A and B are shown apart, each in its own frame.
Chain A
Amino acid sequence: DAKTTQPNSMESNEEEPVHLPCNHSTISGTDYIHWYRQLPSQGPEYVIHGLTSNVNNRMASLAIAEDRKSSTLILHRATLRDAAVYYCILRGGGADGLTFGKGTHLIIQP
Protein backbone atom coordinates (compact mmCIF):
# COMPACT_ATOMS: atom_id res chain seq x y z
CA ASP A 1 0.00 0.00 0.00
CA ALA A 2 1.16 3.54 -0.73
CA LYS A 3 2.27 5.73 2.16
CA THR A 4 0.12 8.35 3.87
CA THR A 5 1.14 11.30 6.02
CA GLN A 6 -1.01 12.63 8.85
CA PRO A 7 -0.39 15.10 11.70
CA ASN A 8 0.48 13.36 14.95
CA SER A 9 -2.26 15.11 16.89
CA MET A 10 -5.04 17.67 16.59
CA GLU A 11 -7.24 19.37 19.11
CA SER A 12 -10.76 20.69 18.66
CA ASN A 13 -13.68 21.87 20.73
CA GLU A 14 -16.87 19.95 21.30
CA GLU A 15 -19.72 20.75 18.89
CA GLU A 16 -17.35 22.29 16.33
CA PRO A 17 -16.39 20.81 12.95
CA VAL A 18 -13.08 18.96 12.67
CA HIS A 19 -11.01 18.64 9.50
CA LEU A 20 -8.42 15.86 9.60
CA PRO A 21 -5.92 16.05 6.71
CA CYS A 22 -4.09 13.22 4.97
CA ASN A 23 -1.43 13.46 2.28
CA HIS A 24 -0.90 10.58 -0.13
CA SER A 25 1.15 11.97 -3.01
CA THR A 26 2.11 8.50 -4.34
CA ILE A 27 -1.46 7.24 -4.65
CA SER A 28 -2.15 5.10 -7.69
CA GLY A 29 -5.25 5.24 -9.84
CA THR A 30 -6.79 2.13 -8.29
CA ASP A 31 -6.11 2.97 -4.62
CA TYR A 32 -9.13 3.57 -2.42
CA ILE A 33 -8.80 6.05 0.46
CA HIS A 34 -10.05 4.52 3.71
CA TRP A 35 -10.44 6.08 7.16
CA TYR A 36 -10.66 4.12 10.38
CA ARG A 37 -10.63 5.29 13.96
CA GLN A 38 -9.70 3.58 17.18
CA LEU A 39 -11.11 4.58 20.53
CA PRO A 40 -9.13 3.70 23.66
CA SER A 41 -9.17 -0.02 24.47
CA GLN A 42 -11.28 -0.90 21.41
CA GLY A 43 -10.68 -2.42 17.99
CA PRO A 44 -10.52 -0.09 14.98
CA GLU A 45 -13.81 1.15 13.60
CA TYR A 46 -14.53 1.86 9.94
CA VAL A 47 -15.41 5.50 9.26
CA ILE A 48 -15.61 6.11 5.52
CA HIS A 49 -13.90 5.39 2.21
CA GLY A 50 -13.84 6.72 -1.34
CA LEU A 51 -12.06 6.50 -4.68
CA THR A 52 -12.41 9.79 -6.55
CA SER A 53 -15.58 11.60 -5.54
CA ASN A 54 -16.42 13.14 -2.17
CA VAL A 55 -18.39 10.82 0.09
CA ASN A 56 -20.84 11.37 2.93
CA ASN A 57 -22.20 8.96 5.49
CA ARG A 58 -23.82 9.21 8.91
CA MET A 59 -20.45 9.45 10.65
CA ALA A 60 -18.44 11.82 8.50
CA SER A 61 -17.62 13.28 5.09
CA LEU A 62 -14.58 12.57 2.96
CA ALA A 63 -13.29 15.33 0.70
CA ILE A 64 -10.83 14.11 -1.95
CA ALA A 65 -8.60 16.56 -3.81
CA GLU A 66 -8.99 16.68 -7.56
CA ASP A 67 -5.48 15.24 -8.09
CA ARG A 68 -6.20 12.65 -5.34
CA LYS A 69 -2.90 13.43 -3.64
CA SER A 70 -4.62 14.51 -0.45
CA SER A 71 -7.91 14.05 1.36
CA THR A 72 -9.70 15.43 4.39
CA LEU A 73 -11.95 13.65 6.84
CA ILE A 74 -14.63 15.99 8.13
CA LEU A 75 -16.49 15.43 11.38
CA HIS A 76 -19.31 17.95 11.16
CA ARG A 77 -19.96 18.38 14.87
CA ALA A 78 -17.45 16.79 17.17
CA THR A 79 -18.49 15.15 20.42
CA LEU A 80 -16.36 13.86 23.26
CA ARG A 81 -16.96 10.34 21.90
CA ASP A 82 -15.06 11.29 18.74
CA ALA A 83 -11.80 11.47 20.68
CA ALA A 84 -9.73 8.70 19.08
CA VAL A 85 -6.79 7.91 16.82
CA TYR A 86 -7.80 8.41 13.18
CA TYR A 87 -6.02 6.42 10.48
CA CYS A 88 -5.93 7.31 6.78
CA ILE A 89 -5.11 4.19 4.72
CA LEU A 90 -4.74 3.54 1.00
CA ARG A 91 -5.97 0.17 -0.26
CA GLY A 92 -5.40 -1.25 -3.69
CA GLY A 93 -3.25 -3.52 -5.77
CA GLY A 94 -2.56 -7.08 -4.70
CA ALA A 95 -2.15 -6.58 -0.97
CA ASP A 96 -5.41 -6.93 0.92
CA GLY A 97 -4.48 -6.24 4.53
CA LEU A 98 -4.74 -2.72 5.89
CA THR A 99 -1.45 -0.89 6.51
CA PHE A 100 -1.92 1.34 9.53
CA GLY A 101 0.47 4.23 10.11
CA LYS A 102 0.67 6.22 13.32
CA GLY A 103 -2.57 8.10 12.66
CA THR A 104 -3.77 11.39 14.13
CA HIS A 105 -4.64 11.51 17.81
CA LEU A 106 -7.75 13.71 17.98
CA ILE A 107 -8.40 15.45 21.28
CA ILE A 108 -11.81 16.99 21.90
CA GLN A 109 -12.09 19.70 24.54
CA PRO A 110 -15.46 20.14 26.28
Chain B
Amino acid sequence: DTGVSQDPRHKITKRGQNVTFRCDPISEHNRLYWYRQTLGQGPEFLTYFQNEAQLEKSRLLSDRFSAERPKGSFSTLEIQRTEQGDSAMYLCASSLGGSGYEQYFGPGTRLTVT
Protein backbone atom coordinates (compact mmCIF):
# COMPACT_ATOMS: atom_id res chain seq x y z
CA ASP B 1 0.00 0.00 0.00
CA THR B 2 1.62 3.27 -1.10
CA GLY B 3 -0.95 5.63 0.40
CA VAL B 4 -0.70 7.87 3.46
CA SER B 5 -0.55 5.91 6.70
CA GLN B 6 -1.16 7.02 10.25
CA ASP B 7 -0.38 5.40 13.57
CA PRO B 8 -2.06 4.69 15.89
CA ARG B 9 -5.57 4.49 14.46
CA HIS B 10 -7.13 4.94 17.88
CA LYS B 11 -5.79 6.44 21.11
CA ILE B 12 -7.52 6.76 24.45
CA THR B 13 -5.75 8.87 27.04
CA LYS B 14 -6.47 10.54 30.33
CA ARG B 15 -6.67 14.28 30.64
CA GLY B 16 -3.26 15.79 31.29
CA GLN B 17 -1.28 13.09 29.50
CA ASN B 18 0.87 13.70 26.44
CA VAL B 19 0.19 11.89 23.17
CA THR B 20 2.10 11.61 19.91
CA PHE B 21 0.78 10.61 16.50
CA ARG B 22 2.77 9.60 13.45
CA CYS B 23 2.08 10.17 9.76
CA ASP B 24 3.93 8.55 6.85
CA PRO B 25 3.19 10.41 3.60
CA ILE B 26 3.35 9.11 0.05
CA SER B 27 7.08 8.80 -0.53
CA GLU B 28 7.61 11.33 -3.32
CA HIS B 29 5.35 14.00 -1.77
CA ASN B 30 7.21 16.98 -0.35
CA ARG B 31 4.21 18.59 1.35
CA LEU B 32 2.56 17.21 4.46
CA TYR B 33 -0.52 18.57 6.22
CA TRP B 34 -2.25 18.01 9.56
CA TYR B 35 -5.97 18.54 10.10
CA ARG B 36 -8.37 18.00 12.99
CA GLN B 37 -11.99 16.92 12.62
CA THR B 38 -14.62 16.88 15.33
CA LEU B 39 -17.90 15.03 15.05
CA GLY B 40 -20.27 16.49 12.48
CA GLN B 41 -17.80 19.10 11.24
CA GLY B 42 -15.49 19.30 8.25
CA PRO B 43 -11.75 18.93 8.79
CA GLU B 44 -9.89 22.01 10.06
CA PHE B 45 -6.36 22.80 8.92
CA LEU B 46 -3.69 22.81 11.63
CA THR B 47 -0.28 23.06 9.98
CA TYR B 48 1.79 22.06 6.97
CA PHE B 49 5.36 21.24 6.02
CA GLN B 50 7.27 21.59 2.82
CA ASN B 51 10.04 19.06 3.19
CA GLU B 52 11.30 19.56 6.77
CA ALA B 53 10.22 23.21 7.06
CA GLN B 54 6.99 24.02 8.90
CA LEU B 55 5.61 26.84 6.74
CA GLU B 56 2.17 27.56 8.11
CA LYS B 57 0.35 27.15 11.42
CA SER B 58 -3.32 27.73 12.06
CA ARG B 59 -4.43 29.74 15.07
CA LEU B 60 -6.08 26.46 16.15
CA LEU B 61 -2.60 25.10 16.88
CA SER B 62 -2.20 26.13 20.52
CA ASP B 63 1.17 26.05 22.27
CA ARG B 64 0.31 22.57 23.60
CA PHE B 65 0.56 21.24 20.06
CA SER B 66 3.85 20.70 18.28
CA ALA B 67 4.58 19.08 14.94
CA GLU B 68 7.84 17.97 13.41
CA ARG B 69 9.00 16.46 10.14
CA PRO B 70 12.63 15.51 10.56
CA LYS B 71 14.46 14.84 7.29
CA GLY B 72 11.32 15.71 5.35
CA SER B 73 9.88 12.22 5.54
CA PHE B 74 7.43 11.12 8.27
CA SER B 75 5.85 13.63 10.63
CA THR B 76 4.78 13.56 14.26
CA LEU B 77 2.11 15.60 15.99
CA GLU B 78 2.40 15.85 19.77
CA ILE B 79 -0.26 17.16 22.12
CA GLN B 80 0.93 17.99 25.62
CA ARG B 81 -1.32 18.10 28.69
CA THR B 82 -4.34 16.83 26.76
CA GLU B 83 -7.77 18.30 27.45
CA GLN B 84 -11.19 16.81 26.76
CA GLY B 85 -11.64 19.36 23.98
CA ASP B 86 -8.74 17.74 22.13
CA SER B 87 -10.90 14.67 21.45
CA ALA B 88 -11.15 14.50 17.67
CA MET B 89 -9.96 12.72 14.55
CA TYR B 90 -6.49 13.87 13.55
CA LEU B 91 -5.93 13.59 9.81
CA CYS B 92 -2.72 13.74 7.83
CA ALA B 93 -2.46 14.45 4.11
CA SER B 94 0.35 14.79 1.60
CA SER B 95 0.75 16.31 -1.84
CA LEU B 96 3.30 17.05 -4.56
CA GLY B 97 2.68 20.79 -4.49
CA GLY B 98 0.41 23.70 -3.66
CA SER B 99 -2.94 24.92 -4.88
CA GLY B 100 -2.87 23.15 -8.25
CA TYR B 101 -2.24 19.75 -6.71
CA GLU B 102 -4.51 17.33 -4.93
CA GLN B 103 -4.00 16.19 -1.34
CA TYR B 104 -4.14 12.53 -0.35
CA PHE B 105 -5.43 11.80 3.12
CA GLY B 106 -4.64 9.05 5.58
CA PRO B 107 -7.27 7.16 7.58
CA GLY B 108 -6.80 9.39 10.64
CA THR B 109 -6.06 8.85 14.33
CA ARG B 110 -9.11 8.96 16.60
CA LEU B 111 -8.17 10.56 19.94
CA THR B 112 -10.42 10.23 22.97
CA VAL B 113 -9.46 12.14 26.10
CA THR B 114 -11.22 10.90 29.24
Interface residue ranges, A against B (CB under 8 Å): 30-32, 34, 36, 42-46, 49, 51, 85, 87, 91-93, 95-103
Q: Which residues of A contact B102 (CB under 8 A)?
A: 34, 46, 49
User: Which one, B41-49, B65-73, B78-86, is touching chain A?
Assistant: B41-49
The chain B residue sitting closest to A42, CB to CB, is B107
CB-based contact B106/A43 at 8 Å = yes
The chain B residue sitting closest to A85, CB to CB, is B42
CB-based contact A96/B106 at 8 Å = no
A97's partner among B42, B48, B104, B106 (CB-CB below 8 A) is B48
A97 with B100: in contact, given A43-B91, A44-B91 (CB under 8 Å)?
no
Give, as a whole number of angstroms, the nearest-CB distance from A6 to chain B: 11
Tell me if B21 counts as interface (CB < 8 A to partner A).
Answer: no
Q: Which residues of B contact A96 (CB under 8 A)?
A: 31, 33, 48, 55-56, 98-99
Quick one: CB contact mask for B86-114 with A, threshold 8 Å, 1 for yes? 00000101000011101111111000000
CB-based contact B105/A100 at 8 Å = no
Interface residue ranges, B against A (CB under 8 Å): 4, 31, 33, 35, 41-48, 55-56, 58, 91, 93, 98-100, 102-108
B44's partner among A91, A92, A100 (CB-CB below 8 A) is A100
B56's partner among A34, A95, A99 (CB-CB below 8 A) is A95
CB-based contact A44/B56 at 8 Å = no
Query: How far is A44 from B37 in the complex, measured between Cα atoms in Å?
Result: 11
CB-based contact B105/A31 at 8 Å = no
A103's partner among B35, B42, B56 (CB-CB below 8 A) is B42
Give, as a whole number of angstroms, the nearest-CB distance from B36 to chain A: 11
| Of B41, B99, B108, most A-chain CB atoms within 10 Å | B99
CB-based contact A44/B43 at 8 Å = yes
